[in-house]
Amino acid sequence: MTVEKTNPSTSRRHWLLAAGGVAVTAGAGIGAWQYLRPRAELDAALDAFWAQQWPTATGEMVALRQYRGGQPLLVNFWATWCPPCVEELPLLDRFAQAQGQAGRQGVRVLGIAADRAASVTRWLQRQPLAYPVVIAETGGVAVTRTLGNSNGGLPFSLLFDGAGQLRQRRIGAFSEEILQRWAAAV
């Protein structure tokens, strides 16, 4: 009778590879589930989003439902304490101005500040923007989580078509190229 000996390092390597494969598969599944949530759950989150009302820096209350449909809309969640957010705001401002020039009915831009009202007001006094900004305070990050931004990272942007349907989501700052692709997509 012959007894085969197994090499402990080979056996350990197989177990590590198997465990790694399971971890990768589980991570991909969780990621896909987070991103491709059941349609009913996303629809409920979008309905709740459109039902929100937040103040501007001047205190005027704005109902988000007034922005739903009719014209494409880019919604950008940002904060004054977020360096990538602050860096992309001039780009978004130029984009908003270009979309609205010469009677063009391009993509509207709406900023939602997930920050303290006093900080946003001070920032907007120094750096006015050509597009409307509402202040969601810290509740803005919670709203982004319901819309697919599971980690609550900023900046976070959404693109809605003229019918008010969600077409794109993005975590992270824009480049000129990405903004142009988004505008062309709607």
Domain boundaries, the chain: 1-36, 39-185
Are 113 and 134 contacting, i.e. CB atoms less than 8 angstroms apart?
Answer: yes
- The per-residue pLDDT for 40 is 85
Q: What is the C-alpha to C-alpha distance for residues 129 and 127, in angstroms, rounded to an integer?
A: 6
- The residues that bridge with 108 in the sheet, in sequence order, are 73
**CATH T-level fold of 39-185:** Glutaredoxin (3.40.30)
User: Partners of 169 in the beta sheet?
Assistant: 158
**CA–CA distance, 29 with 131 (Å, rounded to integer):** 38
Which of 60-99 are b and which e, b meaning 16 or more Cβ less than 10 Å from the residue's Cβ? eebebeebeeeebbbbbbbbbebeebbebbeebbebbebb
| Category of 70 on φ-ψ map: left (φ > 0), alpha (ψ -120 to 50) or beta | left
Q: What is the pLDDT of residue 173?
A: 97
Mean pLDDT by 10 residues, the chain (186 residues): 58 60 56 63 94 96 95 97 97 94 78 97 96 96 94 97 94 96 92
* 172 residue type, one letter: G
pLDDT at 26: 53
Cβ within 8 Å of residue 175, ≥6 positions away = 91
pLDDT of residue 100: 82
Quote the tokens at residue 157. 């942007």
- Among 181, 142, 153, 160, which residue's Cα sits nearest to residue 65? 160
Could you give the CA distance from residue 166 to residue 42 in angstroms, rounded to a whole number? 10
